[in-house]
Amino acid sequence: MGKTKLDNYLSAIQANHKKIFVPYIMAGDGGLEKLKEQILFLEACGAAAIEVGIPFSDPVADGPTIQNAAKRALEQQTTLQAVLAALATFKSQRTIPIIIMTYMNPVFVYGVEHFANACAEADVDGVIIPDVPLEEDDLVTGVLKKNDIALIRLVSLTSTKERIETITQRAEGFLYAVTVKGTTGARSSFDQAVKEYLQQLKQQSNIPVLAGFGVSTSEQAKELASYCDGVIVGSKIVEWLHEEKREAIQLLISSV
């Protein structure tokens, strides 16, 4: 598997023995004009990369907080095309990677090749499409590879040993380790099985393993990151941005 620019960027962070913190935001929540300021704020807080969610009417992987944010963004007429166009306007002002998280339907409607080209034009480094299974990811892999964009793959607690092996062999950028059996959203704790699962993935993977889904406190982020290479935090970041709790976001990002 050839190295993408995202692989190289994250490898450099690992080489400095630092943990990787990736906040998730919902593009268009509160209006698309806020996107630039939100991204530059999170970068200033010390985020290693930012996952930018595209609002979708049927977000099967997302819990209530992100669903509500998507609803607010859709009410603002936020589209995949509009988000990529907005990202392109300030690409020279960003220094950290942007990862687009979307579902396949908006990509299909846009056109896979148009999507990949627009991502490249916006200087997007990675893409997460949770409803595209491994068996069908050749729908997007060719055009993404052509544009040096990593396809981030997810592994779950219910994935078989054989499937995990296949995914880790084909993984790019980082391995997204889903730490709950369900949708995104805050959880009060994680059991020992989750920690063993993260350690196992870390042993198998040649690229960073990041824990996501359900991480909502500094303590959880720090604890889970101790078993892998870092964390992705979505619902809590989305909630605090909506509530303008900027100081809380700064503290959470600096905790890992």
Type of residue at 235: S
d(CA 205, CA 175): 8
Which residue in the list 62, 223, 229, 239 is annotated as catalytic? 62
The yes-or-no answer on residue 121 being catalytic is no
d(CA 166, CA 1): 12
φ, ψ at 108 (rounded to 5°): -65, -45
Type of residue at 115: F
Q: Which two tokens stand for residue 202?
A: 């870390």
Torsion of CA 1, 163, 113, 145, to 10 degrees: -10
Which residue in the list 29, 51, 223, 239 is annotated as catalytic? 51
Cα radius of gyration (the chain): 17
* Type and span of the H or E element at 199: helix 192-204
* Type and span of the H or E element at 177: strand 175-178
d(CA 184, CA 187): 9
Q: Any idea which residues carry the catalytic annotation?
A: 51, 62
